[in-house]
Chain A
């Protein structure tokens, strides 16, 4: 018996050792050089840690890739091949993965990332390696402002832009006493800072009566809601999302925090966050989001139908973004006529426009930010599910950072 156990141990040990050897061998083996045909693009994102957003995003991009290739690909018949990698959700892992995409997969350029710090690290890496990086999802203002560089272009409307859209939308209500609740990290803090700045411009006598910064993913909702309630604000600017948001909303609903108050809330209208809210969805919050279920214009509807058919799931904002970026890649390659980094950058900086299903999107050369917009509207309940109403698509071009601020911030 003992001997048999030993034998088994030894066997397991051998197997594990063999695995190790294999992994070391894998490290040393040189990759096959990617020659000629497909145009490879490296896409790294938090597919594992932030799957709720990133997986629909990947789905959307894959759908675009299929359509593009079915229609003859890019650059005169070459296939578009997007190599997807998990970025590990930390800057350290992401930079290594980016390196792998560049050196082993020989991708023409990089795209993706979700978390702001990951996006910034990859942006700087791209700068160092003189490679184009299309930062698709990170919202941080820094990536196009203070930490911006000539190799990095951002697609999604930034924290600043989306906050500005909300401030414009609540302006008419004339709310003066605002409280802010935001997750305690860069995204939350910069959204709060933007809001403070913008609301003063929109409503000169507005004041911020208090702020709450619960730790990301760890909100003590009862205490936070009570703390906000005690400030007796007339309006609440919310930046919470994910599990923090659902907890906060249910607690606030029970305690009547939102009654007779104006609530402006970033991203809450995105299906990623509305679906978990379900019955709990508050009425009349002013939000940015994605009312896919009510979109009727033809190209967009076609995308939604194709997406639902292919993945047997409803689209999220991430799906729209991924799909749009897929076509952006095609248009970029076609217009540049090359995969050469400098040509790609020159193209993006030269009045570049691509067509998204929501309308044409341009890149502003000054801060290398796209003019992709967002849907701004109010939350409402439809049966047991959350939805948006009274929404409209706000073109991002109107909400970009003022040029003077960009010039002051960018260090180029």
Chain B
């Protein structure tokens, strides 16, 4: 107690030291510059192409690796600041070219497919680049040389402040200025701005869109590379830096307003200063601060600080989700029956491990299905669905381990608690649309994650809680498998029912045209809110089942990668179909399980597999199968028509 008071007193002391506060503000500025340069690239690429580019973090990482490779060689030639700068610029340029390559080889082929699939492709790139970096540069961190001329520190009010950081502080506004000139004084820049405001308009004006997109990717990637290369005198290039920067870059972009470069500058400043001063008061706040800020900003200003409502929002376009609600024909019924038989017979033909994997696939399938209930039917793209999966897992796990209750009530509590969480967050989420909505779901998921991570007494912190095992009667692997099968099948049938019922139609109506839905008496927000709650509850049920199959809970169940996995499963299967996500979950989990034992570089193979699937089936696996079937004339309608034709 006394110790705590002493610490508090000390903090008050250093908080009242003005010169220290000034230095801390400068520290914030230096971080802000770095953050802004990276986020500016992301926001430009999004503005022009509307692609949520997960690979932006990879560009940043490549910039750092190029930097630590090139700069020392150049400094060997002549150890001077211009040489250092040349190295930084060369790294940025190199990354820019990689951005161009990604545009030409990958993105260009998929501009016509729904935007979400482009996101999926960029995620494949992230995985592949991670392993390529490991392969090329090895696993050890590589610290770049200090910048000649800026090796030391200058004295600021009695504090030593690194001169390189003063240089960084200047770089932020410099890049902002350069971008302003580019955007306002060049034809390319004007087109970029026009495309940011209204993408279709540029298409209509007959601008060479392909070239514009290539240019935007070059600029965006080069900025990320610049950000990475500029970090090398401070931060060792390491194979984890892509992930560590991407979430923050997204937060800056969203808080500033997607597509707004000055907005990104403002947001970076805000976030970095908050961070610099936040740690003085709450040293453990580092995990969640930026996401708290983002949630707050989005609740108050749904389009970010300097963003604008999406241009052309009222325009009538085909949605990304389910367009033609397919009904089961004879082929589908046969397929479902066959799948049912296989699932029922699995314990007879498969070994123990196959059953184990199948249990996980079942849990993921339900989570992915519930996610597509939001995306495919409701048009609500959640980047944070793992929050509800995790809430369910934690609710079940903590009831069993902390309260000593058996599995049965815990499995009932899982969807209830997750549903309540979804209802709470959903209340705010459904007020937004599009990418802002997605980022708010991400922020809420990250807040849940931080609570699970930091509330050690209850949740066990990042170690989690072990000992989450099923009741004795369900403890056998086969029994638990059948339990999971029954529960998941029931939940999926029920959710699917909802899609074909008036509720599902209402959701689709609200997605297709919120204005029209409102004008025929539909309370759009309430229905979306209900859908969000129901999907959250279903994901929670999946989480509960998963926890009992693993025997433990921990924050990775709530983490961003888990949310991304659900998204990948859903998209792989196809958001435009009802059963696609089930297939997607099975495919993704099986592919990963197949690749992991083969090689340390399974991420590379997984990434390439995802890219290949996006290219081969731009509408997901099931969407692709349906398309193939209609091409081959196997449609039921065709079949019926043939049957009617007299022989």
Q: Could you tell me which A residues sit within 8 Å of B by CB distance?
A: 6, 9-10, 12-13, 15-17, 19-20, 22-24, 26-31, 47-52, 55, 85-86, 88, 90-93, 95-97, 99-100, 103-104, 116-117, 120-121, 123-125, 128, 140, 142, 147, 184-186, 189, 207-215, 217-218, 220-224, 226-227, 229-231, 242-243, 246-247, 250-251, 254-256, 272, 275-278, 280
Contacts and interface: CB of A to CB of B under 8 A. Distances in A.
Contacts of B159: 226, 229, 255
B10 A217 contact: no
Given A13-B624, A28-B346, A226-B24, A117 B463 contact: yes
B461 A186 contact: yes
A51 B550 contact: no
27 contacts: A20-B587, A20-B591, A26-B594, A27-B350, A27-B357, A31-B351, A48-B131, A48-B134, A55-B600, A92-B360, A104-B351, A121-B466, A124-B551, A128-B469, A189-B456, A215-B287, A217-B244, A221-B235, A223-B27, A223-B28, A226-B24, A227-B279, A227-B280, A227-B283, A246-B236, A255-B159, A276-B140
Contacts of B131: 48
Given A104-B351, A254-B153, A121 B464 contact: yes
A29 B594 CA distance: 12
Contact of B600 (A86, A120, A210): A86
B227 to A, nearest CB: 15
Contact of A255 (B162, B287, B356, B467): B162
B279 A214 contact: yes
A1 to B, nearest CB: 15
Interface string B426-441: 0000000000000000
Nearest to B17: A230
A50 B134 CA distance: 10
Given A217-B244, A223-B275, A251-B234, A142 B463 contact: yes
Interface string B269-287: 0001001100110011011
Interface stretch (B110-118, B375-383, B609-617): B609-617
B240 A217 contact: yes
B14 interface: yes
A99 B286 contact: no
A276 B141 contact: yes
Interface string B556-580: 1100010000000000000000000
Nearest to B243: A217
A250 B561 CA distance: 31
B31 A255 contact: no
Nearest to A211: B283
A222 B556 contact: no
B628 interface: yes
Given A117-B556, A276-B140, A215 B586 contact: no
B462 interface: yes
Contacts, number: 268
Given A186-B461, A223-B27, A243-B238, A120 B10 contact: no
Interface in B576-597: 586-587, 590-591, 593-594, 596-597
Given A243-B236, A255-B159, 19 more contacts: A24-B590, A28-B354, A49-B240, A85-B596, A92-B360, A120-B466, A120-B552, A125-B551, A209-B7, A217-B240, A220-B286, A223-B279, A230-B17, A246-B141, A246-B235, A254-B164, A255-B160, A276-B143, A280-B143
Interface string B526-538: 0000000000000
Given A117-B554, A227-B280, A23 B594 contact: yes
A48 B135 CA distance: 10
Nearest to A16: B616
B627 to A, nearest CB: 9
Interface residues of B, number: 103
Q: Which of B10, B240, B594 counts the most A-chain CB atoms under 10 A from its CB?
A: B10
A220 B27 contact: yes
Interface in B591-647: 591, 593-594, 596-597, 600-603, 609, 612-613, 615-617, 621, 624, 628, 631
Interface of B: 3, 6-7, 10-11, 14, 17, 20, 23-24, 27-28, 30-31, 131, 134, 139-143, 146, 151-153, 159-162, 164-165, 233-236, 238-241, 243-244, 248, 272, 275-276, 279-280, 283-284, 286-287, 346, 349-354, 356-358, 360, 453-454, 456, 461-464, 466-467, 469, 546, 550-552, 554-557, 561, 586-587, 590-591, 593-594, 596-597, 600-603, 609, 612-613, 615-617, 621, 624, 628, 631
A19 B354 CA distance: 17
Given A120-B466, A220-B275, A231-B14, A96 B31 contact: no
Given A222-B165, A223-B31, A250-B143, A91 B464 contact: yes
A215 B353 contact: no
Contacts of A207: 3, 6
B153 A255 contact: yes
B51 to A, nearest CB: 22
Contacts of B556: 90-92, 117
B360 A96 contact: yes
Contacts of A93: 596
Given A28-B346, A223-B279, A254-B153, A242 B550 contact: no
Nearest to B360: A96
Contacts of B280: 227
Contacts of B17: 230
A40 to B, nearest CB: 14
Nearest to B615: A12
B616 A185 contact: no
